[in-house]
Amino acid sequence: MHKILSATFIAPDIKRFTIQAPKIALKRKAGQFVIIRINDVGERIPLTIADSDSEKGTIDIIVQGIGKTTKELNTLQSGDYLTDVVGPLGKPSHIENFGTAVSIGGGVGTAIAYPTAVALKQAGNHTISIIGGRTKEFVILEDEMKKVCDEVFITTDDGSYGKHGFVTDLLKELIETRKIDFVLAIGPIPMMKAVAEVTREKEIQTVVSLNPIMVDGTGMCGGCRASVDNKIVFVCVDGPEFDAHKVDFKTLMTRNQSYLMEEKESLEQHDCRLNSLSSEQGSVGTSQRNVILSN
């Protein structure tokens, strides 16, 4: 059992948790994730470790409530417990001094991009961050990014904050005005795909973090397989980060919709139960990372 030490909404339906997990806090590197289970009937869902404090023995995860499990997770409060937390899983991000590195986070993807941006900065890169959100209130981790990055740009789809437009519009502008050596893009699949298309023609090394449905997270089940460079990879042990120019995004998107019907059923049941409990928390929640990012 892992105690939740703090739980705060940082955007609508997006909650940041600090969880007691000393061993993981000590070992984890940027890009790695944990798998959690919130109770004895719960599913195993992967969540990227957004931050950690090895002295306090804590890790942070940032969760958007879309499906049943993430919604239920986001009703948990400081002092509650998670039944299982296992990790750190996956390969750490490949970090080196590329020169100028741009880290792009779309929506809750910014939470996943953040630790790698920190590592890129520590490795000596001139680090630029682009944070994208649907509207102003979905722009997250701006202050944190500003602390570690040399430059931070914001875009919103509706123009309510920062630049009006998509992260790719801003990326194109940056590429035109200066030499970019490395791009990290994490967010909804269409966003990652769009970034890959922008950098492909400029031959800029680009990495994306994939978000397939997982079960065990240790390579045992093969459920998280994706197609990269026309080969089957298991994202949990071979990734989660891959060369954006070689990823088959269409297959990833399709496979992430394997359980749409079941997710709907599960969620309806959950909402039903919440309503009948007339919970004061009833509004928020999240889904699996994979659902969030694929929609």
Partner 1 sequence: MPEKISNKERMKIPRQVMPEQDPLIRRNNFGEVNLGFTEELAKMEALRCIQCPKPTCVEGCPVGVKIGEFIALVADGNFLGAAEKMKEDNLLPAICGRVCPQEEQCEIKCVVGKKNEPVAIGRLERFVADYERETVGIRVPGLKPKTGKKVAIVGSGPAGLSCAGDLIQMGYDVTAFEALHELGGVLIYGIPEFRLPKSIVKAEIDSLKTLGVEFITNAVIGLTDTVDELMQNGYDAVFIAVGAGLPYFLNILGENLNGVYSSNEFLTRVNLMKAYRFPGFDTPVFNCKDKNIAVFGGGNTAMDTVRISKRLGAKNAYIIYRRSDVEMPARAEEIHHAKEEGIEFILLSNPLEFLGDERGWLKSVKIQRMELGEPDSSGRRRPIPIPGSDYILPIDMAVISIGNGSNPIIQKTTPDLQYNKWGNILVDENTMKTSKKGVFAGGDIVTGGATVILAMGAGRKAAAAINNYLTQVNRIY
* Residues lying near partner 1 in the complex (CB under 8 A): 23-24, 27, 37, 41-44, 68-69, 83-89, 215-216, 218-223, 225-227, 232, 234, 237, 248, 250-251, 254-255, 257-259, 261-263, 265-266, 269
Q: Are strands 58-64 and 14-20 parallel, antiparallel or unpaired?
A: antiparallel
Largest CA distance in the chain: 57
Give the neighbor-by-neighbor strand order of the sheet with 84-89.
45-48, 33-37, 84-89
The nearer residue to partner 1, 27 or 246, going by C-beta atoms, is 27
Smallest gap from Cβ 32 to partner 1, in A, equals: 8
The pair of three-digit structure tokens given for residue 275, joined into one six-digit string: 């309503």
Smallest gap from Cβ 170 to partner 1, in A, equals: 32
Smallest gap from Cβ 223 to partner 1, in A, equals: 4
Smallest gap from Cβ 87 to partner 1, in A, equals: 7
d(CA 222, CA 140): 32
Q: What number of helices (H) and strands (E) belong to the chain?
A: 10, 17
The answer to whether 140 and 62 are in contact (CB under 8 A) is: yes
The nearer residue to partner 1, 33 or 166, going by C-beta atoms, is 33
Smallest gap from Cβ 181 to partner 1, in A, equals: 27
The nearer residue to partner 1, 41 or 201, going by C-beta atoms, is 41
The nearer residue to partner 1, 161 or 259, going by C-beta atoms, is 259
The answer to whether 30 and 95 are in contact (CB under 8 A) is: yes
The nearer residue to partner 1, 165 or 223, going by C-beta atoms, is 223
Query: What percent of the residues of the chain are helix, what percent strand, and what percent coil, each to the nearest 5?
Result: 35, 30, 35
* Token pair 């630790």: residue: 115
Residue 2 backbone phi and psi in degrees, to 5: -120, 125
The nearer residue to partner 1, 35 or 118, going by C-beta atoms, is 35
The nearer residue to partner 1, 41 or 280, going by C-beta atoms, is 41
Smallest gap from Cβ 286 to partner 1, in A, equals: 14
User: Cα 116–154–183 angle (5° rounding)?
Assistant: 40
Query: Could you tell me which of 209, 230, 240, 271 has the C-alpha nearest to residue 88?
Result: 240
